[in-house]
Amino acid sequence: MAPPTFLQNPQRVRPILILGVDIISENPKRFAVVSWFNGRLEKKGEFTLYRLIRFIQSKRPDIVAIDSVTELGDDLRKFLRSLPGGTKLVQVTGRPGEQRSLQSLAKEHGIRITDRFDPYEEAKLSALLASKGVGYEVLAFEDEVIIKVTRGRSHGKGGWSQDRYRKRVHNLVRDKVREIEDRLRRADIPFDLEVEEKDYGLAKGEFKVYASREELAGLIKPTRGGDVEVRIQPVERAELGFAPLKGEEAIRERRSIIVGIDPGITVGIAAIDLNGRIVALHSERNMPVGEVFRFISDVGHPVVVATDVNPAPGFVEKIARSFKASLFVPRESLRVEEKNELLRNLGISVDDDHQRDALAAAYKAYLRLKPKLEHVDAKLREAGLTSKAEEVKALVIQGYNLGEAMQRVTLRERPKGEEKPEEKPSIDVGPYIKRIRELERRVEFLERENAELREIIKEQRKTIGRLERRLVDYDEEVRRKVLRERELEAKVKRIEILEKQLREAKAVIERLSRDLVHVKRMNVVEIRGSAVPLKVMNVLSWRELEKLEREIGVKRGDVLFVINPAGAGRAIAEELVEKGIRALITEKPLPEPVREVFREAHLPFFTGDELDVKRVDEFAVVERETLERAIEALLAEWKEEDREREAERLLRLVEEYRIERMKELRRKAEEESKHR
């Protein structure tokens, strides 16, 4: 027997909290609130909408019951978005267009009414009816969540360090996407994934997860503020949905159907009843999930949702979960010949392939269930309950055994006035009834197993025949064709590799030619002796220095010209001193740390304006005589400064010695005076 819900037997599961709500005034909105906790009612008082939302978020009730969601007016969507996870908003009077009054529902369920015009009384009735499983849950969100994984902050502009940081972040995004993908697969939650690749990593990843927010709680956590951000966004429905609190209510009130779905750009939908008759066939391009849900709801209540492919698409799993229906997936994807054969057996033509695939999936599911359904029909004819055959079949498909399903239907149909206390039997038939039920379950299991094994044998025979035909058709000509194609493919790949190598060689030759011209120009100027060629760097950085060494070299006695030295530090200055360059000329002033290193090493540095540097593109020169005079003058100036600094140091040492000597003589004089 299926386990009872908390609404049917609250003593056997955890206690639950239900809040009954009814409007007191429209402007401003004020609500009366009554709580129902494990059978106990308590008046909670009067709340504004803001205070009501805060109260619900703090108490986290299982159900918020209201007689009509229209009482929330324009604030309905805001109210639904604010509900904590696991809290349902229930309209106890029924779905729109089929609503009944609170009073008639209370009378039907044996609830006493005192004052029908008291808001607290109406809130109490809503809570009590919801506790009995009466009403429809208001669905604001699809069973669909968007998870976006992106970088957490901008990379900015820059050289190597920014490039390394960008690659690192893209690798972190890739790792986070793989982690979420692994968690969803291990939790067996269907999803679709789109990624944007960059730097051998991922710039972003977007998951479309076919599950509710509650199913992801504790599995995927949103993160912000670091290198990688994870955002979770539930997908709102275009129109509100209404789902019965009890699955059995939908079975009793509406026709039970088996639905086949073919997802894609064009969605195919087929519905058949539990007797194998077609009741709906439809296909539509760009059909949203909400429209699919509403179309199926208008036809009936699905007890089975079927697909023609294995594994099942996430879209089909989502629809099955939304209706709380069983999911039928064939052992292997149906072939086109098999689908056409199923349609020939039905004797029907379809408008397109999407309708064909959906109908084939639904009919395949029906054939799998047919032995069980025929067994139910036979038992119902013996019991004289053929009028309730569809309802009993639906309950059996949902997991009840035949005896339990028949008992539920007969008890619900029996008028209250006819209920009489049963006479106590003279013989205890309990063990016999128990044994009969066990045997019925055993027979049902064996019949189902037998039917499934027959289907497996049939499908395997078809597979063997298909493979044998393929082996016959696979002759020597096909093999030669495959070999020719492979040989051609290898040659094409070889040509592509050689073309790539040729392009790379041409690029190297072009770069080396430019470098050779540049070196020749510098050598000409150097040979003439009237000017000194300068080796030009755009910025004073490690990257630029490595580039200069690679292209034309940096040797002892060279004079470097730096356009923008800003941002350079002591390390690169010490490297230039180590290389033994003769001088450094810049367009802009040097940073202080670099000046200090050069001053200590007596390496001259100047600005271009001081020496009248002549520069065209990447070529710069300075007059040799001007440079020599400037270097001599600067070195002489530094030598004088060093001499003065040394003299000051010696004077300071003498003064310190004098002070220490005076202190020592004073101390000795004090000691001698004490001895006297």
The C-alpha atoms of residue 53 and residue 80 are separated, in whole angstroms, by 10
CATH number for the domain harbouring residue 536? 3.50.30
Same domain? 255 vs 397: yes
Q: 367: phi > 0 → left, psi -120 to 50 → alpha, else beta; which?
A: alpha
DSSP 223: B
Q: Same structural domain for residues 3 and 127?
A: yes
Pair (534, 590) in one structural domain: yes
Angle at 402 between CA 422 and CA 271, to 5 degrees: 135
On whether both 127 and 149 belong to a single domain, the answer is no
Instruction: Specify the range with the lowest mean pLDDT, choosing from 21-30, 146-155, 432-441, 623-632.
Output: 432-441
pLDDT of residue 22: 93
* Claim to verify: residue 125 and residue 179 sit in the same structural domain: no
pLDDT, position 471? 72
Query: For the ranges 92-101, 470-479, 551-560, 569-578, which has the lowest average pLDDT?
Result: 470-479
pTM reported for the whole predicted model: 0.39
Q: What is the pLDDT of residues 288-327, one digit of tens each?
A: 777 788 788 888 888 899 999 988 888 888 888 777 788 8
What pLDDT score was predicted for residue 288? 74
| pLDDT at residue 415 in the model | 47
Q: Is residue 421 part of a domain?
A: no
Amino acid at 187: A
Decide: 18 and 42 in contact? Cβ < 8 Å.
no
Rounded alpha-carbon distances, angstroms, from residue 80 to 34, 57, 101, 593, 614: 19, 12, 23, 62, 74
What tokens appear for 39 in the block? 């059978």
Is 565 part of any domain?
A: yes
| 486 part of a folded domain | no
Question: Which residues is 208 bridged to in the sheet?
Answer: 146, 192
Position 442 pLDDT exceeds 90: no
Residues 285 and 384 in one domain: yes
Tens digit of each residue's pLDDT (9 = 90 or more) over 171-227? 889 999 999 998 888 877 778 888 888 877 888 999 988 777 777 777 888 888 778
What whole-number distance in Å separates Cα of residue 635 and Cα of residue 641?
A: 10
Count of alpha carbons within 13 angstroms of residue 178, beta-carbon side? 8
Helix (H, G, I), strand (E, B) or coil at 173: helix
Domain assignment of residue 499, yes or no: no
Confidence band of 518 (pLDDT split at 50, 70, 90): low
Indicate which CATH number applies to the domain containing 197: 3.30.70
pLDDT score for 424: 41
Q: How confident is residue 252, by pLDDT bands cut at 50, 70 and 90?
A: very low
- Is pLDDT above 90 for 94? no
The answer to whether residue 432 sits within a structural domain is no
CA angle 278, 281, 284 (to 5 degrees): 170
Residue 530 has pLDDT above 80, yes or no: no
Residue 148 — pLDDT band, cuts 50, 70, 90? very high
Q: What is the mean pLDDT of residues 464-493?
A: 78
Between 3 and 65, name the one with better pLDDT. 65
Tokens standing for 285?
């391009």
Q: What CATH number does residue 85 fall under?
A: 3.30.420
Q: What is the pLDDT of residue 359?
A: 92
**Residue 99 confidence (pLDDT):** 86
Of 188, 211, 237, the domain-final residue:
237
* Among the listed residues 47, 44, 33, 55, the one whose alpha carbon sits nearest the alpha carbon of residue 127: 33
Question: 76-90, 219-233, 384-398: lowest mean pLDDT where?
Answer: 384-398
206 and 72 in a common domain: no
Of the residues 134, 151, 182, the one at which a domain ends? 134
What type of residue is 579? K
Q: What is the rounded average pLDDT for all residues in the chain?
A: 81
Domain limit, last residue, from 237, 262, 290: 237
pLDDT score at 155: 54
Helix/strand/coil for 267: strand
The stretch 150-158 carries a mean pLDDT of 65
| Number of domains observed in the structure of the chain | 4
Q: How many Å apart are CA 409 and CA 133, to the nearest integer?
A: 17
Amino acid 248: pLDDT: 43
Same domain, 276 and 345: yes
For the stretch 449-464, pLDDT in tens is 788 788 888 888 888 8
In one-letter notation, the amino acid at residue 59 is K
pLDDT at 456: 84
Cα–Cα distance, 135 to 670 (Å, whole number): 106
Residue 270 sits in the same domain as residue 386: yes
pLDDT digits (tens, 9 = 90+) for 559-583: 999 988 988 888 988 999 898 998 9
Look at residue 401 in the predicted model and tell me its pLDDT.
75
Question: Strand, helix or coil at 39?
Answer: coil
Query: Following CA atoms 512, 515, 517, 522 in sequence, which dihedral angle do they give, to the nearest 10 degrees?
Result: -150
Decide if 509 is inside a domain: no
What's the rounded Cα separation, in Å, for the pair 290 and 389? 31
Note the pLDDT of residue 434.
Answer: 65
Give me the numbers of helices (H) and strands (E) for the chain, helices first please.
Answer: 20, 20
Whole-angstrom Cα Rg for the chain: 43
Q: Are residues 121 and 183 in the same domain?
A: no
Q: Is residue 449 part of a domain?
A: no
- Asked if residue 421 has pLDDT above 60, the reply is no
Indicate whether 417 pLDDT > 60: no
Q: Which domain holds residue 361?
A: 250-413
**DSSP H or E run through 66:** strand 63-66
Residue 635 has pLDDT above 50, yes or no: yes
Q: Which of 171-175, 283-287, 409-413 has the least mean pLDDT?
A: 409-413
Note whether residue 590 is domain-resident.
Answer: yes
Residues 180 and 197 in one domain: yes
For residue 231, pLDDT over 70 is answered with yes
Regarding whether 51 and 6 lie in a shared domain, the answer is yes
Q: Which of 94, 95, 118 is nearest to 104 (CA)?
A: 94
